[in-house]
Amino acid sequence: MKRTKIKELLQHGKTGEEVLVKGWVRTFRSNRFIHINDGSSITNFQAVVDFEKHDENQLKRITTGACVALQGKLVESLGKGQSLELAVDNFEILGDSDPNTYPLQPKKHSLEFLRSIAHLRPRTNTFGAILRVRHALAFAIHKYFNEKGFFYLHTPIITGSDCEGAGEMFRVTTLDLNNIPKNDDGSINYGDDFFGRETNLTVSGQLEGELGAMAISDIYTFGPTFRAENSNTPRHLAEFWMIEPEMAFYDLKDNMDLAEDFLKYLIRYALNNCLDDLEFLSARQKEEEQSKPQDQRSMELIEKLKFILENDFQRLTYTEAIEILENSKPNKKGQFQFPINGFGTDLQSEHERYLVEKHFKRPVILVDYPKEIKAFYMKQNPDGKTVRAMDILFPAIGEIVGGSQREEDYSKLVTRIKELGLRESDFSWYLDTRKFGSAPHSGFGLGFERMVQFVTGMANIRDVIPFPRTPKNAEY
Ligand code: 4AD
Ligand code: MG
């Protein structure tokens, strides 16, 4: 007999229908009521066994965590919350689970504890919901760009260049670390390495993405990116996924319009396709925040998502933002950990969140940042001080998108590369696009996990990726 997924049963099951379901036992109560879950939906499915009809030793094996196959008829359920249940005729234990050592008990576990058993946490309601929302968002990303005529470009994961110029890269090598080949001057001889040169894991697919846009106009990348920054925060991972669209003939305004439309599309998609999971996550967040004082609690999750859809993002320049921050109460009272020091101050998450949550009370797009705090490839403004950068700031998250119009002028770009002490020869292929048929173009990067965090309301980024990589942690 063919197995039916629980989601399918809940939607289309009919009384009297003979079905086979498979899944993991959440609870078995009164030697009678089995609640199982197969991950297809947040809802557990109730099955009822008549213990007089079955062997006692077999019944004992139905324990929390065990994997079972249940066969029987769908009947009307008297229990609340479910219209049908399964009257079990036969059951089979596919995998036993010792209730004394199974780490997931039918009670609430802390997120910290669940992080320590990341191999089993997908079996909890919370992580099941997060994984389904994560999938839906990934799917919606491809759908959005496909509908807009963008092409999915696969940029390399191993690369020789440092896109962001921050030097936060993981080295890729096959050299024997106990016996590193050296040049006469004592430096490492990368000529002997696998690729015959120094290579790293990519921090961004943008530079290669630009090469694509300079030929097929509108592309996007969606892949893993790696940063060896030692940031132990609830918003940083060493391995995260990034979506990077890159568009020929777009200026900064077109870029902002696309990014705002894209973020709203993703939120709308989640609301339309994951409402049961979002309702569960909303209740979870409410419970989690009960101990917090009223003014520190977040807006209800679904209300918050709808609020984003209904409001235009506030757009202003970095310089205007600095002025607001300088005159803000927390700055004057010395409450910011990093005080605002006029033009040139690199904004920290606390500043970004002040602008979004306290001042404008909506998402914010900041443009025209000082060139000193941004990467080499951004289009220089005529003022000689700022570049055509844009950061999108979200409540609870801070920066969720970073992007810019790109410098398309060959000589300005070369000058900037030299000013920053980068090697021109490393970027010869990149510079070629400015030499041969250059065009105005723009793009941005959305941190996928930060987006999943926002949509699910999870406070820590480690809880929205199946197996987080952070400093001193790369298990599995
Ligand atoms: O602002 P970033 O560094 O921009 C770039 O990499 C550009 N090349 C993007 C582009 O223009 N194509 O990173 C983009 C986004 C950030 O806004 C943030 O959401 C996310 O990537 N991000 C991280 N997410 C999790 N962990 C980290 N360590 C992250 N670093 C950046
Ligand atoms: Mg950034």
Residue 334 lies in a domain: no
For residue 444, the CA-to-ligand 2 centroid distance in Å is: 9
Does the structure show a pLDDT above 90 at 204?
Answer: yes
pLDDT band of 162, cuts 50, 70, 90 = confident
Q: What percent of the chain is predicted at pLDDT more than 70? A: 100
Does residue 69 sit in the same domain as residue 151? no
Domain that holds residue 401: 123-168+203-313+362-463
Does residue 221 sit in the same domain as residue 83? no
Cα(289)–Cα(442) distance, integer angstroms: 40
For residue 397, the CA-to-ligand 2 centroid distance in Å is: 13
pLDDT band of 161, cuts 50, 70, 90 = confident
Q: What is the pLDDT of residue 80?
A: 73
Does residue 377 sit in the same domain as residue 309? yes
Cα(38)–Cα(392) distance, integer angstroms: 37
Q: What is the pLDDT of residue 395?
A: 94
3-state secondary structure of 86: strand
For residue 430, the CA-to-ligand 1 centroid distance in Å is: 20
The number of the ligand 1 atom at minimal distance from the alpha carbon of 203 is 6
| pLDDT tens digits along 245-278 | 999 999 999 999 999 999 999 999 999 999 999 9
Does residue 383 sit in the same domain as residue 413? yes
| pLDDT tens digits along 272-312 | 999 999 999 999 999 999 988 888 888 999 999 999 999 99
Cα–Cα distances (Å) from 71 to 20, 40, 233, in that order, read: 4, 18, 47
For residue 3, the CA-to-ligand 2 centroid distance in Å is: 47
Q: What CATH number should be reported for the domain holding residue 42?
A: 2.40.50.140
Does the structure show a pLDDT above 90 at 106?
Answer: no
Order of all β-strands in the sheet with 158-159: 158-159, 199-201, 171-172
Ligand index nearest the alpha carbon of residue 222 = 1
Average pLDDT over residues 88-109: 95
pLDDT band of 443, cuts 50, 70, 90 = very high
For residue 445, the CA-to-ligand 1 centroid distance in Å is: 6
Average pLDDT over residues 471-475: 95
Does residue 136 sit in the same domain as residue 66? no
Least confident of 404-408, 424-428, 431-435: 424-428
Which mutation among 204, 226, 255, 266 tests ligand 1's pocket best, with the greatest number of atoms within 8 A of CB? 204
Residue 180 lies in a domain: no
For residue 164, the CA-to-ligand 1 centroid distance in Å is: 9
Within 6 A (CB) of ligand 1 lie 163-164, 204, 206, 227, 236-237, 240, 242, 244, 399-404, 443-445, 447, 449-450
For residue 456, the CA-to-ligand 2 centroid distance in Å is: 22
Average pLDDT over residues 119-148: 98
CB 456 within 8 A of CB 133: yes
Q: What is the pLDDT of residue 420?
A: 94
Q: Look at ligand 1, atom 9, and give the residue with the nearest C-alpha.
A: 445
pLDDT band of 163, cuts 50, 70, 90 = confident
Q: What is the pLDDT of residue 298?
A: 87
Average pLDDT over residues 201-209: 97
Order of all β-strands in the sheet with 314-317: 151-152, 218-226, 239-248, 441-447, 398-405, 386-394, 364-370, 314-317
- Exposed (0-12), middle (13-18) or buried (19+): which is 105, by Cβ within 10 Å? exposed
Element holding 27 (H helix, E strand)? strand 18-29
Does residue 71 sit in the same domain as residue 158? no
Average pLDDT over residues 434-459: 98
Mean pLDDT rounded to a whole number for the chain? 96
Does the structure show a pLDDT above 90 at 18?
Answer: yes
Does residue 101 sit in the same domain as residue 218? no
CB 431 within 8 A of CB 413: yes
Does residue 236 sit in the same domain as residue 97? no
SS3 letters across 130-164: HHHHHHHHHHHHHHHHHHCCCEECCCCCEECCCCC
Q: Look at ligand 1, atom 23, and give the residue with the nearest C-alpha.
A: 447
Ligand index nearest the alpha carbon of residue 202 = 1
Residue 445 has, within 13 A of its CA and on its CB side, a CA count of: 20
Residue 141 lies in a domain: yes
Q: Look at ligand 1, atom 21, and give the residue with the nearest C-alpha.
A: 447
CB 201 within 8 A of CB 169: yes
Cα(85)–Cα(78) distance, integer angstroms: 9
Residue 113 lies in a domain: no
The number of the ligand 1 atom at minimal distance from the alpha carbon of 246 is 12
Q: What is the pLDDT of residue 358?
A: 95
Does the structure show a pLDDT above 80 at 81?
Answer: no
The number of the ligand 1 atom at minimal distance from the alpha carbon of 399 is 17
Does the structure show a pLDDT above 80 at 12?
Answer: yes
As for how many domains the chain has, the answer is 2
The number of the ligand 1 atom at minimal distance from the alpha carbon of 238 is 28
Does residue 12 sit in the same domain as residue 52? yes
Least confident of 51-65, 79-93, 243-257, 445-459: 79-93
pLDDT band of 165, cuts 50, 70, 90 = confident
Cα(345)–Cα(40) distance, integer angstroms: 48
